[in-house]
A and B are shown apart, each in its own frame.
Chain A
Amino acid sequence: MPPTRSDDKVGDTTVTVPRPGRLSRAWQSDIAWSFRHSPVAIVAAIVFFTLVFAALAAPLIAPHTPFDPATLNLMDGFTPPMGEGLGSGSLYWLGTDDQGRDVFSTILYGMRLSLMIGLAAVGFAAVLGVSLGLIAGYAGGWVDALIMRIADIQLTFPSILVALLIFGVARGLLPPESREQMAVWVLILSIGLSEWVQFARTVRSSAMVEAKKDYVQAARLVGRRPVAILFRHLLPNVMGPVLVIGTIYLALAIITEATLSFLGVGAPPTSPSLGTLINIGQDYLFSGEWWILLFPSLTLLALALSVNLLGDWLRDVLNPKLR
């Protein structure tokens, strides 16, 4: 073991150089340096975390409770932005929709749902893909061949199509009464299942390299079980690219969710996500109520663009080879 800085000896006296604290080490790390020198990443991060914060604190920030019918005033319907509702007289920053729901509040709650589904779907895809990739890369042989052939076949089809199909099949298996309540879970399942392949392929190739290294052989020699080797020893060494793929796929998952909801096969109008809101807003374009469409669209764009830019930046920093 190499001597650490604190027990370096100069002559007879021991000079102790204090180890910098965690925060200052993080501040001086390569990632932080490149973050501070990339204006795009800074702006994207500010936008993204503002949106996440707004989504998390939606119940506190939202001036209205849009999904509680008791608080709605139908007379307030179609109030333009910065206008006062005809019924209640309250001010609506971004206007209201046909039922008098405050657009700003519905966006906050919709973003909450979009983000939650996106994160859960990517998490599910990552867990599934990383596990299968580790197993394929470590086991090799027919297990590897089977998993990777399934991945190849799925990769032949665009992920939106796979998600749509899984969504349709899951709906077919559910009894009609519970379809609306289960919609969010079905969305997470279908988007997650449509995105695991890239995780598995990346993890498999790094696991194949790592599995040949000495520390893995040593772990095997001391008699660790395969599961322990996979998740305690291999996993930490293949996680770098997973983070990058995860960020990029978060943007994809948010867009896929919005697309499914927009198509009317995702989140139901009673608990709308951003995609559902855009779908609702589309109906009022021809009658001139542009705000019902515009503001959810801008929010979705800001969300997708900021995650995309953060993902691009992270990819360049962590793993230039992936470019």
Chain B
Amino acid sequence: MFAYVVRRALQGVLVLFVVAFIAFTMFRFVGDPLDGLLGQEATQLDRVELRERLGLNDAVPVQFARFVGNALQGEFGNSYRNGVPVAGMIAERLPATLELALVSALFATLLGIALGVYTAINRDGWLANTIMSASLIGVSLPTFLIGVLLIWVFAVELGWLPSFGRGETGNLFGWDSSLVTVSGLKSLVLPAITLGLYQMTLVMRLVRAEMLEVLRTDYIRFARARGLSERAVNFGHALKNTLVPVITIIGLQVGQITAFAIVTETVFQWPGVGLLFINAIQFVDIPVMATYLLLVGTLFVTINLIVDVLYAVIDPRLRAERPAGGAST
């Protein structure tokens, strides 16, 4: 068990190392780092001096070591576009993204499990069939289109919910949150549904498939034979045994949610890191792009590690030595 976790952690560190190297390469070789720091009227002499002062003449490995060292201290350089430290820009916008991702994941999990159980128990009901067919369209709809259509219906036509921004934010344990004000909560509804809809259908289909499998097993038949209520059989026995794969899928989907937060944040002009990243791409603001890459890389590696460890806790077979090169997805 311990060896397994250590091996996984080392792999994670290796991935992070590669990500850091890519970020460094972008930072150093795509565009000239000097352009963002010097004004239009800088002389050649200024450039040479600044090159020397920033250590851009050192050997590349030395520069890479310095880059990693700085990154570990939360030092990511200044944005080319507006000259302020990138770390501050990201820190300011991270709460908005995390809040959106968290609410979406909750929405996807709770509604997904509920609908999955419903469609599995009433597998031939007309409502269950309608839900299943609708989920197929939900999977094919691109995230941005869901967002735009929701805005159209609920913000433009019905006028129930705001179409952009976070609304008013209040202070929740030192965290700039829109969960504590009415307008904040209202602004959160559409983006959260947009972002979570795909994951919701995924969870629903998974829960349904697993439930159908479990409902056929002998222990469910015995539970029925014992005269347990339908409710106790479905929720106490069947649902419990479907949750292991569901938990891992949700864990792995957190990465997807973070990636598609970029799209959702653009549609709803949600002031999070995803919107920052898109703007950085539009203006070729390399330091912001590199820092976002590092941030997301760290997040994904951590999530994968947690899921791997959870797997090992749940499934004893994984704790044993596995053959090298086994498919791990």
Contact = CB atoms under 8 A, between A and B. Distances in A.
Interface of A: 145, 148, 152-153, 155-158, 160-161, 164-165, 167-169, 171-173, 205, 251, 255, 258-259, 262-265, 275, 278, 282, 285-286, 290, 293, 297, 300-301, 304-305, 308
Interface centre among B277, B281, B325 (most CB of A within 10 A): B281
A293 B301 contact: no
A301 B156 contact: no
Nearest to B31: A172
Given A171-B284, A172-B286, A259 B263 contact: yes
B130 interface: no
Interface string B233-261: 00000000000000000000001100110
Contact of B260 (A152, A160, A167): A160
B137 A160 contact: no
A157 B278 contact: no
A157 B259 contact: yes
A263 B263 contact: yes
27 contacts: A148-B325, A152-B328, A153-B15, A156-B301, A156-B304, A158-B255, A158-B256, A160-B259, A160-B263, A161-B262, A168-B284, A169-B26, A172-B26, A172-B284, A172-B286, A258-B144, A259-B144, A262-B142, A262-B266, A265-B282, A278-B145, A290-B152, A297-B148, A300-B145, A301-B137, A301-B141, A304-B141
A131 to B, nearest CB: 20
Nearest to B257: A158
B151 A304 contact: no
B102 interface: no
B204 interface: no
A172 B143 contact: no
Interface string B272-314: 0000011011101010010001001100110010000000000
A285 to B, nearest CB: 5
A168 B289 contact: yes
B224 to A, nearest CB: 30
Given A161-B296, A173-B30, A167 B148 contact: no
Interface string B1-23: 00000000000000100110000
B259 A305 contact: no
A70 to B, nearest CB: 30
B149 interface: yes
A20 to B, nearest CB: 37
Contacts of B44: none
Given A301-B140, A304-B140, A156 B145 contact: no
A264 B282 contact: yes
Given A168-B280, A258-B142, A264-B282, A157 B296 contact: yes
Contact of A172 (B30, B144, B297, B327): B30
A131 B327 CA distance: 20
B142 A255 contact: yes
- Which secondary structure characterizes the binding site on chain A? helix
A297 B144 CA distance: 10
A255 B144 CA distance: 10
Contacts of A168: 280-281, 284, 289
Given A168-B280, A305-B137, A285 B263 contact: no
Contacts of B297: 156-157
A37 B255 CA distance: 39
A304 B142 contact: yes
B277 A263 contact: no
Contacts of B325: 145, 148
Contacts of B329: 155
A158 B296 CA distance: 11
Contacts of B30: 169, 172-173
A54 B177 CA distance: 49
A297 B255 contact: no
A127 to B, nearest CB: 23
Contact of B262 (A157, A169, A263): A263
Interface centre among A157, A167, A255, A293 (most CB of B within 10 A): A157
Contacts of A160: 259-260, 262-263
Contacts of B267: 282
Given A156-B300, A172-B30, A263 B156 contact: no
Contact of B281 (A164, A258, A262, A300): A164
Nearest to A251: B140
Contacts of B301: 156
Contact of B156 (A145, A153, A285): A285
A262 B293 CA distance: 21
Given A157-B296, A165-B289, A285-B156, A293 B148 contact: yes
A169 B262 CA distance: 17
Contacts of A155: 329
